Structures are given as structure tokens and as C-alpha cells.
């Protein structure tokens, strides 16, 4: 297939200072939880992006000095020349596919505590370090500012030595010293670096000029700049100081990479923002500079991308998450394979890897972060080793991905689903408030399966053990999912909650099936991810009064890791959900429930007509138990293996279910390797004398 002429504009080269991007697809800097901790994994992942057609592939933020130590969070690190080989490997991988490599050096100032190095953090003034830690940054004097400028120059030179093509001056997300100096909130200096905008922008400008002087002969110098902080006059605004800054620096950088900040605004989930959600803020930038402009907005639609270029809104289509969900997005557009694009669902599970200091993962792309250590390529999978017939039972995310990937390997696959549609939990959950884009998990796999001759799909087929045996499959994969518990057992309660008969009790499965309780409703959330908060919204939408009680300090606590927690809590409060945090559920009674303070045990009665318990799930393992109870029957039917995957094995995230299905498909008939199921990156012992 060849590409649609409508998208030709996306494949025009763009000059960026002394270098040229081969097309308009630009992977903006993004964290990945690998960086300094898993450098081979990081380099391989970036190289695959270039292979997938991204003309520019950037690093995450790269620490420039030991006073900018993100530990335990894993970022890039370029403290001295010894770190150059890591980035040289990355640049080499990107260049091998004709991409340009971009590096984002950063000093994070007062936003890092330097837990590992124990250096005193520095900032524009004396100020507490941002996370809740008993550490303060000290105010920088002129010698510190001079040293900081030198660290940035050293980092730029190291980037050049590592053969990078683009070096950044980073002033966004409230994560860089340049932004802290620019911000009126943090910069109260009375010297030439404080006060007027001209003074506050000085450091940003100096780093830009220094970097140009140091490496500008061969490297483009880009800026990443926050044009709005969504906090009105307290922050940068696109019609205020941010606009003035762009006017002041207009043509000084070789490229403007612009966004809204902080990170939770820049990487909003689909629950809160649609594609191109930054457009209203960044649109003006093109009018202020003759240099190319990059913007992001979770772009997955090639029509929208081409439209933005045509309208003169952007010169380059920036992407972090769409390039994670589908590293081959540009190539698929180029080859005319639009339907094959694995569109990001905007869930931010990718972000959670950063917060847990672990390699990145993605709901849509199970190979993300596994490119090096497992050798998984997002598009290529080894051909089948045998002519086995595989029966997959259950078409939720795990079963769908297993069937899709087994089909790609060439296996004959039968996929049986009890319901009258594919998708399992994804079909149900995507109907909840704000989660409609999650259906892309199903739609992508369904489409791929429809293109695969050897995968036969049977709907309305709830299989019994006898029926499984009759199908004479060589391998049986059970992806039958899980159901929510109805007894309150979870993290806080290890025994069923007393009084389960006292009033109607509902589970998330009931609500998703349309069985809503009468209000007022007490929702007890001991799950802590999105479900409790989303169901509280659903109840309010249906006109029920709702009280959300949780043992955690705030609602949907895990969503701090997906950058959503504040938006979720704000939404619930604005919708009139009553929130009782740090409470456990003591018992249910006629007409009410009794909550208990987690710390004192003090009890409080809330009046309600029903309870919704969002605590834990149990695997649907009846079919597995029935099959494995009769090993002789399995043998007689020629079944060589019965394997549980996804929620049927252990309930988890949708990302975990997709990964589980993918892993099964990858490993079928593959001889086990020695030791761990993946390659390790080891910390090397120091060379003698160093
Ligand atoms: P996962 O997240 O692990 O993919 P889901 O709960 O999303 O799990 O999907 C499980 C799917 O399995 C559901 O669509 C359900 O209808 C289906 N299912 C459960 N038991 C059977 C069965 N015995 N035969 C066929 N399909 C089943
Ligand atoms: Fe998109 Fe979710 Fe994948 Fe992140 S984890 S890239 S938000 S699909």
C-alpha cells in the first residue's frame, strides 16, 4: 500500500538550525523509567521509535549535575564524560534509521531532594524542596549561577560528543531551574536575575546563548517552553508573560517546542482532555517566530495532524504517548496502513512507570520497555514453531491480545467469547464516564484479528469443560477474567463486612451492567485506582446522592501515578460527592453504614439506602478448575497445556492483561532460556583505581 496524498505534507523535511528532520514526526522528550538505570533498554526503545519513522527522537530529561539528582526516580544522567557512552548508544540506534537524536539536559533545582548524592539542593531562593520531604534548597549566589551555566555547557558538549543532533534549553513543567527563575512564584531575587521579566528570563536566555555558542555549529538548539500553567495570573499565561518571553527570544532558538505545564496539564488523560487539548494555548506561537514550532496533544489522527500543518498551527507533530502506544505510527501513515495504528487510549499507565522507578509500560503496546530485555519488537514476532491449534477462551484484553499475537505468529486460533461482543472488561469500562477512548484496546485487536485468516471468533459461546475438550485444541488458554467481590474483603477488611444482609449491596459489575442502586449510596473504595471514583461520578450522573469512603488519604489514590488524582478529586467534589477519607467500613446496618477512623477507630454513622463495594476481584477460574481436575480427560483429548492469563490468573490493570496475553503468545513453543525470562542490566563494579 502507498500513502494517501492528503498526508504528503507530513513527510516534508523540516530544517532545524544546522540539521534537517526527514519528516514532521517529532518524538518530544519523555520519561521512561529506564534512563540511567536500564540504559541498554532505553537506547533500544528509542532506536525502535526511529525505525518506526519518527524523524526526531529525544531523551527524557537528563540530569546535568549531582546537585540535580532525581533518585529514586530514574531519569537520564550526564554528570561527567563517563556517562557519554549511554547516550552515544542511543544516538547510534536512532541514526541507524535516519532519525535525529535530541537531548534535554536539565537541572531540576528545588524540585529534587538529592536523596542519593546528599548534595544540598539549589534554587533561586531559600525554599523547601517540592515533594513532602524535610529538605530545603539554598539560594544560589552569582558563583552558583555561573557554575550552573557551565554545567549546562558541559552537558551540551557531552551531548555533541555522543553525536546528538539537537540539544535543548528546558523551561517547562516547573521542573527546570530556568523555569524556577522565570516564575514570579519562586523567584524573589533582588539582583539582575529577579524582579522584571527581563531579569527573570535572563537565565533561560543565557543557557540558550551558551548552548548555541558551545555546540550550535553542528547541533540545533531547541527550547522546551511552557506557554501556560493553567493557574491564571499566578503562573505563566499564553496571553501574558509566556507570550512576552516568546517575543523576547523569538528567533534565538532553532526550534520552539511548546506545551502547557505542569506535567499533569501537559499529559492529561482522555478522561479529562481530548486530542489537541493544548491547541487553544499554543496556537499563537507560530505567529511570533520564524523558527519551526512543535506542539503536542496526544495526536493519533493523521487527518488532524495534516490539518494542523496546513493551517500553519505547527511545523512538527510532537508526540510522547502516541509514540509509546505505536512506535510505528509514522511508518503506518507512510505505508497507507491507517487502520493499523495502535492509538493511545490516554490512560497514563506509561507515566506510572516513572513514579514507581521501573521501566515504562503501556496499555496498548505490550512490547514497550521490553525491546531490549525481552527482545520484543512492536511489529515483528517470530513465526510459529509448530502447527498447534490454540483455543483461547474469553475475549477481554488478555484473550484478544493472545489471539491476535498467536494469529500473527501463524497459529490456528479459536477464540470463544461468552458475550455477544468482544472486549470483556474494556467493553464494559469504556461505557463509564470519561473512559470511552479505552475501547481502542478492543478495536485495534478486533481489527487485526479480522485481517488474520487463521483466527476464528465465536461469540455467544460460553464454553464448559466438556465443550473445551470436544474442540481438540493442542493448547487451551483461559482468559475468562475476574468478577468484583461483593463482601468488602480487600486491603482493609480481611473478613466480610458485617451486616451484608442489612441493606442492598452492589458491585462494580452490577453498576456496569446497568443495575444501579437507589440513593443515597455509600461507595466504599478499597481498590484505589479509577473504578471507585468513576462509579461515584456515574452515580451522581444518575441523580443519586453519593458518599465515597476510603481508607486512603484521598480518592483514587493510585491515580497520583497517572497524574489524575487532583482532577478526579476536584471533579467529585464539584459534582457533590461527599468524601470521607481515611475511613474503613466497620459494618452495614438497616438504613446506613458505620465508618471507622483508620487511626482512632472512632465510629461515624452515615445514612444510606445501599452500598457499593469496590474492594477486590476474584479470578473466574471455574473452567480452569474443571479442566485441570481431570488430567486423563485432557490427555485423551490431546490437550498439551491449560494456561490462565490476564485477570483469570490474577486481576490487575488492563495493561497487565494485554501484556499477559502477549507474553503467552510470544512464549508458546519457544524453548525456555536459562535463568530469568529477560536479560538483566547489571551495575558494573568500578574499574580498579577509579
Ligand atoms: P481480561 O482482562 O483478563 O482479558 P476480561 O474480564 O476483560 O478479562 O474478559 C474475560 C472475558 O471472558 C469476558 O468477556 C467473558 O465474557 C469471557 N468468558 C468468561 N468465561 C467464559 C467461558 N466459559 N467461555 C467463553 N468466554 C468466557
Ligand atoms: Fe497511551 Fe496509556 Fe500507552 Fe500511555 S500507557 S501511551 S496513555 S495507551
Look up the CATH number of the domain holding residue 492.
3.50.50.60
> 369: how many CB neighbours lie within 10 A of its CB?
27
Q: Is the CB of 30 under 6 A from ligand 1?
A: no
On whether both 63 and 105 belong to a single domain, the answer is: yes
**Locate cell 530556568: which residue?**
178
On whether both 155 and 111 belong to a single domain, the answer is: yes
Q: Is the CB of 654 under 6 A from ligand 2?
A: no
On whether both 450 and 559 belong to a single domain, the answer is: no
Q: Does residue 196 fall inside a structural domain?
A: yes
Distance 328 CA to ligand 2 centre (A): 15
On whether both 489 and 635 belong to a single domain, the answer is: no
On whether both 569 and 427 belong to a single domain, the answer is: no
Strand ranges in 270-388 using DSSP code E only, listed in sequence order: 293-295, 316-319
Domain ends where: 243, 266, 289? 266
User: What are the residue numbers of the active site?
Assistant: 31, 170, 173, 266
**Integer distance in angstroms from the first to the last C-alpha of the chain?**
56
Q: What is the DSSP letter of 560?
A: G
Q: Does residue 539 fall inside a structural domain?
A: yes
Look up the CATH number of the domain holding residue 435.
3.40.50.720
Q: What is the DSSP letter of 121?
A: P
> With contact defined as beta carbons under 8 Å apart, do 104 and 168 qualify?
yes
Distance 398 CA to ligand 1 centre (A): 9
On whether both 543 and 658 belong to a single domain, the answer is: no
Distance 625 CA to ligand 2 centre (A): 34
Distance 399 CA to ligand 1 centre (A): 8
> With contact defined as beta carbons under 8 Å apart, do 330 and 23 qualify?
yes
> What are the cell numbers at 624?
480452569
On whether both 467 and 504 belong to a single domain, the answer is: no
Q: Which of 350, 563, 655 to mutate to test the pocket of ligand 2 (most atoms within 8 A of CB)?
A: 350
Closest residue by Cα to atom 9, ligand 1, is: 396
- Picking from 676, 363, 670, the residue whose alpha carbon sits closest to that of residue 530 is 363
Q: Which residues of 321-337 are buried (b: 16+ CB within 10 A; e: fewer)?
A: bbbbbbbbbbbbbbeee
Domain ends where: 212, 241, 266? 266
Q: Which ligand 1 atom is at minimum distance from the Cα of 399?
A: 4
Q: Does residue 310 fall inside a structural domain?
A: no
Report pLDDT for 689.
66
Q: Which ligand is nearest to the CA of 644?
A: 1
- Picking from 263, 369, 354, the residue whose alpha carbon sits closest to that of residue 31 is 354
Report pLDDT for 685.
85
Closest residue by Cα to atom 3, ligand 2, is: 362
Q: Reduced to 3 states, what is the DSSP secondary structure of residue 222?
A: strand
Look up the CATH number of the domain holding residue 234.
3.20.20.70
- The residues, any chain, with a CB within 8 Å of residue 260's CB and separated by 6 or more, are 226, 227, 228, 229, 230, 266, 278, 281, 282
Q: Does residue 219 fall inside a structural domain?
A: yes
Closest residue by Cα to atom 17, ligand 1, is: 394
Q: What is the 3-state secondary structure (H, E, C) of 189-202?
A: CCCCCCCCHHHHCH
On whether both 207 and 254 belong to a single domain, the answer is: yes
> What is the phi/psi pair of residue 133, to 5°?
-130, 150
Q: Does residue 687 fall inside a structural domain?
A: no
Q: Is the CB of 48 under 6 A from ligand 1?
A: no
Q: Which ligand 2 atom is at minimum distance from the Cα of 324?
A: 6
Distance 666 CA to ligand 2 centre (A): 21
Report pLDDT for 328.
98
Q: Is the CB of 550 under 6 A from ligand 2?
A: no
On whether both 132 and 239 belong to a single domain, the answer is: yes
Q: Which of 325, 352, 367, 378 to mutate to test the pocket of ligand 2 (most atoms within 8 A of CB)?
A: 325
Question: The domain containing residue 490 runs over which residues?
Answer: 484-618
Q: Which of 347, 437, 439, 559 to mutate to test the pocket of ligand 2 (most atoms within 8 A of CB)?
A: 347
On whether both 558 and 649 belong to a single domain, the answer is: no
Q: Which ligand is nearest to the CA of 650?
A: 1
Task: Show the low-confidence residues of the chain (pLDDT under 70).
Answer: 689-690
Q: Which of 323, 364, 366 to mutate to test the pocket of ligand 2 (most atoms within 8 A of CB)?
A: 364
Report pLDDT for 690.
62
> What are the cell numbers at 176?
527546570
Q: Is the CB of 162 under 6 A from ligand 2?
A: no
Q: Does residue 508 fall inside a structural domain?
A: yes
Domain ends where: 234, 266, 298? 266
Q: Is the CB of 619 under 6 A from ligand 1?
A: no
Distance 260 CA to ligand 2 centre (A): 19
Q: Is the CB of 480 under 6 A from ligand 1?
A: yes
Q: Does residue 529 fall inside a structural domain?
A: yes
Within 327-424, where are the H helices?
329-334, 349-355, 397-409
On whether both 128 and 242 belong to a single domain, the answer is: yes
Task: Compute the distance between CA of residue 146 and CA of residue 138 in angstroms, rounded to an integer.
Answer: 16
Cis peptide before 520 (omega within 30 of 0): yes
Q: Which ligand 1 atom is at minimum distance from the Cα of 660?
A: 3
Distance 363 CA to ligand 2 centre (A): 6
Domain count, the chain: 3
Task: Compute the distance between CA of residue 404 and CA of residue 419 in angstroms, rounded to an integer.
Answer: 18
Distance 300 CA to ligand 2 centre (A): 12
Report pLDDT for 687.
79
Closest residue by Cα to atom 5, ligand 2, is: 362
Q: Which ligand 1 atom is at minimum distance from the Cα of 482?
A: 6
Q: Which ligand is nearest to the CA of 422?
A: 1
Q: Does residue 689 fall inside a structural domain?
A: no
On whether both 595 and 499 belong to a single domain, the answer is: yes
Distance 350 CA to ligand 2 centre (A): 5
Amino acid at each position: 500500500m502507498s500513502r494517501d496524498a492528503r498526508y504528503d505534507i507530513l513527510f516534508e523535511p523540516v530544517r532545524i538550525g544546522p540539521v534537517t528532520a526527514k519528516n514532521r514526526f517529532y518524538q518530544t522528550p519523555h520519561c521512561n523509567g529506564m534512563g540511567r538505570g536500564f540504559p541498554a533498554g532505553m537506547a533500544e526503545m528509542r532506536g525502535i521509535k526511529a525505525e518506526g519513522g519518527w524523524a526526531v527522537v529525544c531523551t527524557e530529561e537528563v540530569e546535568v549535575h549531582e546537585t540535580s539528582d532525581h533518585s529514586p526516580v530514574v531519569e537520564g544522567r550526564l554528570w561527567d564524560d563517563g556517562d557519554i557512552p549511554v547516550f552515544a548508544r542511543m544516538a547510534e540506534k536512532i541514526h541507524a534509521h535516519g532519525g535525529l537524536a535530541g537531548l534535554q539536559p536539565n537541572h531540576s533545582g528545588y524540585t529534587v531532594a538529592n536523596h542519593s548524592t546528599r548534595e544540598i539542593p539549589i534554587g533561586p531562593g531559600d525554599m523547601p524542596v517540592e515533594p513532602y520531604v524535610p529538605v530545603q534548597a539554598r539560594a544560589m549566589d552569582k558563583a552558583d549561577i555561573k557554575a550552573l551555566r557551565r554545567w549546562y555547557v558541559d552537558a551540551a558538549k557531552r551531548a555533541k560528543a555522543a553525536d546528538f543532533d539537537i540539544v535543548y534549553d528546558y523551561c517547562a513543567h516547573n521542573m527546570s531551574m530556568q523555569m524556577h527563575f522565570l516564575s514570579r512564584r519562586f523567584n524573589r531575587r533582588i539582583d539582575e536575575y529577579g524582579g522584571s521579566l527581563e531579569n527573570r528570563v535572563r537565565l533561560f536566555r543565557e543557557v540558550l546563548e551558551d548552548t548555541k555558542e558551545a555546540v550550535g555549529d553542528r547541533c540545533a538548539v531547541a527550547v522546551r517552553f511552557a506557554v501556560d500553567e493553567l493557574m491564571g495570573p499566578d503562573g505563566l499565561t499564553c496571553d501574558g508573560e509566556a507570550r512576552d518571553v516568546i517575543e523576547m527570544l523569538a528567533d534565538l532558538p532553532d526550534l520552539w517546542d511548546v506545551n502547557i505545564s505542569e506535567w499533569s496539564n501537559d499529559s492529561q488523560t482522555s478522561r479529562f482532555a481530548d486530542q489537541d487539548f493544548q491547541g487553544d494555548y499554543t496556537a499563537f506561537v507560530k505567529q511570533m517566530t520564524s523558527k519551526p514550532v512543535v506542539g503536542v496533544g496526544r495526536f493519533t489522527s493523521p487527518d488532524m495532524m495534516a490539518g494542523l500543518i496546513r493551517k500553519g498551527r505547527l511545523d512538527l507533530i510532537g508526540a510522547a504517548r502516541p509514540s509509546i502506544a505505536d512506535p510505528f505510527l509514522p511508518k503506518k501513515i507512510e505505508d497507507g496502513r491507517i487502520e493499523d495504528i495502535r492509538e493511545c487510549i490516554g490512560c497514563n499507565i506509561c507515566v506510572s512507570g516513572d513514579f514507581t522507578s521501573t521501566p515504562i509500560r503501556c496499555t496498548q503496546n505490550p512490547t514497550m520497555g521490553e525491546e531490549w530485555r525481552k527482545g520484543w519488537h512492536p511489529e515483528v514476532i517470530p513465526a510459529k514453531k509448530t502447527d498447534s491449534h490454540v483455543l483461547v477462551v474469553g475475549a477481554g484484553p488478555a484473550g484478544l491480545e493472545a489471539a491476535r499475537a498467536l494469529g500473527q505468529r501463524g497459529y490456528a486460533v479459536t477464540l470463544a467469547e461468552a458475550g455477544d461482543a468482544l472486549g470483556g472488561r474494556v467493553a464494559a469500562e469504556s461505557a463509564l464516564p470519561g473512559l470511552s477512548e479505552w475501547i481502542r484496546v478492543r478495536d485495534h485487536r478486533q481489527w487485526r484479528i479480522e485481517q488474520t485468516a487463521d483466527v476464528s471468533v465465536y461469540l455467544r459461546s460460553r464454553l464448559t469443560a466438556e465443550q473445551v475438550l470436544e474442540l481438540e485444541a493442542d493448547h487451551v488458554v483461559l482468559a475468562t477474567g475476574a468478577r468484583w467481590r461483593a463482601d468488602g474483603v480487600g486491603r482493609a477488611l480481611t473478613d466480610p463486612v458485617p451486616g451484608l444482609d442489612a441493606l442492598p449491596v452492589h458491585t462494580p459489575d452490577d453498576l456496569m451492567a446497568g443495575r444501579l442502586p437507589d440513593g443515597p449510596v455509600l461507595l466504599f473504595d478499597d481498590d484505589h485506582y479509577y473504578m471507585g471514583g468513576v462509579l461515584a461520578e456515574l452515580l451522581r450522573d444518575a441523580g443519586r446522592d453519593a458518599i465515597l469512603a476510603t481508607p486512603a488519604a484521598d480518592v483514587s489514590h493510585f491515580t497520583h501515578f497517572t497524574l489524575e488524582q487532583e482532577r478526579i478529586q476536584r471533579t467529585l467534589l464539584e459534582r457533590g460527592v461527599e468524601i470521607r477519607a481515611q475511613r474503613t467500613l466497620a459494618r452495614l446496618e438497616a438504613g446506613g453504614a458505620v465508618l471507622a477512623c483508620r487511626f482512632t477507630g472512632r465510629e461515624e454513622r452515615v445514612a444510606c439506602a445501599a452500598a457499593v463495594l469496590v474492594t477486590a476481584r476474584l479470578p473466574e477460574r471455574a473452567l480452569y478448575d474443571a479442566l485441570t481436575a481431570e488430567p486423563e480427560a485432557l490427555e485423551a483429548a490431546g490437550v498439551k497445556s491449560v494456561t490462565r492469563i490476564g485477570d483469570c490468573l490474577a486481576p490487575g490493570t488492563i495493561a497487565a492483561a494485554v501484556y499477559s496475553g502477549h507474553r503467552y503468545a510470544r512464549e508458546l513453543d519457544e524453548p525456555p532460556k536459562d535463568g530469568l525470562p529477560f536479560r538483566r542490566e547489571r551495575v558494573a563494579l568500578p574499574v580498579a583505581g577509579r
